[in-house]
Amino acid sequence: MRAIVLETDDVQVDMVRPAPIPAAEEVMVRVTRAGVCETDLQLIKGYMGFRGVLGHEFVGVAESGPFAGQRVVGEINCACWQCNTCRIGFPTHCPNRTVIGILNHDGAFADMIAVPQRNLHRVPDAIPDDIAVFTEPVAAAFQIPAQIEIAGTERIVVLGDGRLGNLCAQVLASMADDVLVIGKHREKLALLEAMGLKTALLSDDLPQRSFDIVVDCTGSESGLPTALKLVRPRGTIVLKTTVAGTQTLAWAPFVIDEVTLVGSRCGPFDRALNALEHGLVDVEPLITDRFNLSNGMMALRRAQEKGVLKVLLEMEA
Ligand SMILES: [Zn+2]
Ligand SMILES: [Zn+2]
């Protein structure tokens, strides 16, 4: 099969990669679409030291198991379901887990992928593949209201106008009136404005220490220091950014202003599928470009260019 494989210091399309062999609890999924995400670009730069097939945002058709022949999306954390962390209900934090396309488990930039059956969700017929491929990042956005209560009256800032920032802003705007997206890219902010969101440029004169919730989706080391300037005393910073390498920061303001810092990662697929089915989140305008899997290297380069939001991979030969 074809696959985009990350080896030490090298990423390439392998046209003759052997198909994965599903483990006991896994089924084979024939991938139809996959999405390139910031995490993939970070992995190529060395984040997590991952080696193998990249890709964790996908939709496909199950080849076996209870969903055989049906379209599915898959949660990316493959838990052991035996350990204490799993038993108390936090399988996404299982210390024995693998993570599809991120940690010791081959990913979805391939014709075939092996996925634990219990990670799979059936895709409602009303959601086309181009939309369903966004389930994983939309679920990550829904993790924010799963972790912190949103009453609807908060002043919320989303830092970052890229792929994840856009989705987080849309999800939060569906439950709160006052959501401001702060970014650096006029064309990406214009897209958010067309969706009905309030935006500002990072270089604008912004009110300091006045927002209840600040969500960092910048994917940049500068995100957290910026969030700290904007959040009010006793406010909450939600950190979505993962950066390869070490960050330094003066931590005293967290103590002095009693700021809550919430790390936020993977989220509920059922809520994401429901939002996509009912059009609560509009993902189609985020698709900047699409490439066949055979041209996977062009897709990865395109995803790193300025002004690009989501790049999709299509698997049709
Ligand atoms: Zn991702
Ligand atoms: Zn476990």
Distance from the alpha carbon of residue 27 to the mean position of ligand 1, in angstroms: 22
Q: What is the CA radius of gyration of the chain?
A: 19
Report which bound ligand comes closest to the CA of 93.
Answer: 2
Tell me the average pLDDT across 122-134. 98
Q: Return the percentage of the chain with pLDDT > 90, whole number.
A: 91
Which pLDDT score is estimated for 301?
Answer: 97
Is pLDDT at 94 greater than 80 in this prediction? yes
The tens digit of pLDDT for each residue in 205-237 reads 999 999 999 999 998 999 999 999 999 999 999
Q: Which residues contact 33 (CB under 8 A, 6 or more apart)?
A: 58, 59, 60, 129, 130, 132, 133, 312, 313, 314, 315
The two structure tokens encoding residue 91: 């399988």
Which pLDDT score is estimated for 124?
Answer: 98
pLDDT-derived band of residue 9, with 50, 70 and 90 as boundaries? confident
Say if residues 154 and 212 touch (Cβ distance below 8 Å).
yes
pLDDT-derived band of residue 307, with 50, 70 and 90 as boundaries? confident
Distance from the alpha carbon of residue 115 to the mean position of ligand 1, in angstroms: 16
Report which bound ligand comes closest to the CA of 136.
Answer: 1
Distance from the alpha carbon of residue 78 to the mean position of ligand 2, in angstroms: 9
Residue 265 CA: distances (Å) to CA of 44, 138, 149, 195: 19, 11, 16, 25
Distance from the alpha carbon of residue 236 to the mean position of ligand 2, in angstroms: 29
Is pLDDT at 8 greater than 90 in this prediction? no
Distance from the alpha carbon of residue 92 to the mean position of ligand 2, in angstroms: 8
Place of tokens 């030969």: 317
Say if residues 287 and 139 touch (Cβ distance below 8 Å).
no
Report which bound ligand comes closest to the CA of 84.
Answer: 2
Higher-pLDDT residue of 245, 305:
305
Distance from the alpha carbon of residue 70 to the mean position of ligand 2, in angstroms: 28
Report which bound ligand comes closest to the CA of 86.
Answer: 2
Residue 310 CA: distances (Å) to CA of 52, 154, 291: 22, 29, 11
What is d(CA 138, CA 135) in angstroms, rounded to the nearest whole number? 5
Using alpha carbons only, what angle is made at residue 228 by residues 227 and 231, rounded to the nearest 5 degrees? 80
Distance from the alpha carbon of residue 80 to the mean position of ligand 2, in angstroms: 4
Using alpha carbons only, what angle is made at residue 194 by residues 193 and 197, rounded to the nearest 5 degrees? 35
What is d(CA 20, CA 28) in angstroms, rounded to the nearest whole number? 8
pTM: 0.94
Report which bound ligand comes closest to the CA of 91.
Answer: 2
The tens digit of pLDDT for each residue in 187-209 reads 999 999 999 999 999 999 999 99
Q: Which residues surround ligand 1, an ion (CB under 5 A)?
A: 37, 39
DSSP β-ladder status, 310-314 and 26-36: antiparallel
Distance from the alpha carbon of residue 88 to the mean position of ligand 2, in angstroms: 10
Which pLDDT score is estimated for 246?
Answer: 82
The tens digit of pLDDT for each residue in 243-295 reads 777 888 889 999 999 999 999 999 999 999 999 999 999 999 999 999 999 99
Report which bound ligand comes closest to the CA of 96.
Answer: 2
Distance from the alpha carbon of residue 210 to the mean position of ligand 1, in angstroms: 30
Average pLDDT, the chain: 96
Give the distance between the most distant pair of CA atoms in the chain. Answer: 58
Distance from the alpha carbon of residue 205 to the mean position of ligand 1, in angstroms: 32
Report which bound ligand comes closest to the CA of 34.
Answer: 1
- Using the CB atoms, write b or e for 259-278: b if 16+ within 10 Å: beeeebebbbbebbbebbee
Distance from the alpha carbon of residue 258 to the mean position of ligand 1, in angstroms: 31
DSSP three-state, residue 135: helix
Distance from the alpha carbon of residue 233 to the mean position of ligand 1, in angstroms: 31
The tens digit of pLDDT for each residue in 21-67 reads 999 999 999 999 999 998 899 899 888 889 999 999 999 999 999 99
Which pLDDT score is estimated for 267?
Answer: 97
The two structure tokens encoding residue 80: 């052991």
Other CB atoms within 10 Å distance of the CB of residue 190: 12
Distance from the alpha carbon of residue 147 to the mean position of ligand 2, in angstroms: 21
Distance from the alpha carbon of residue 3 to the mean position of ligand 1, in angstroms: 17
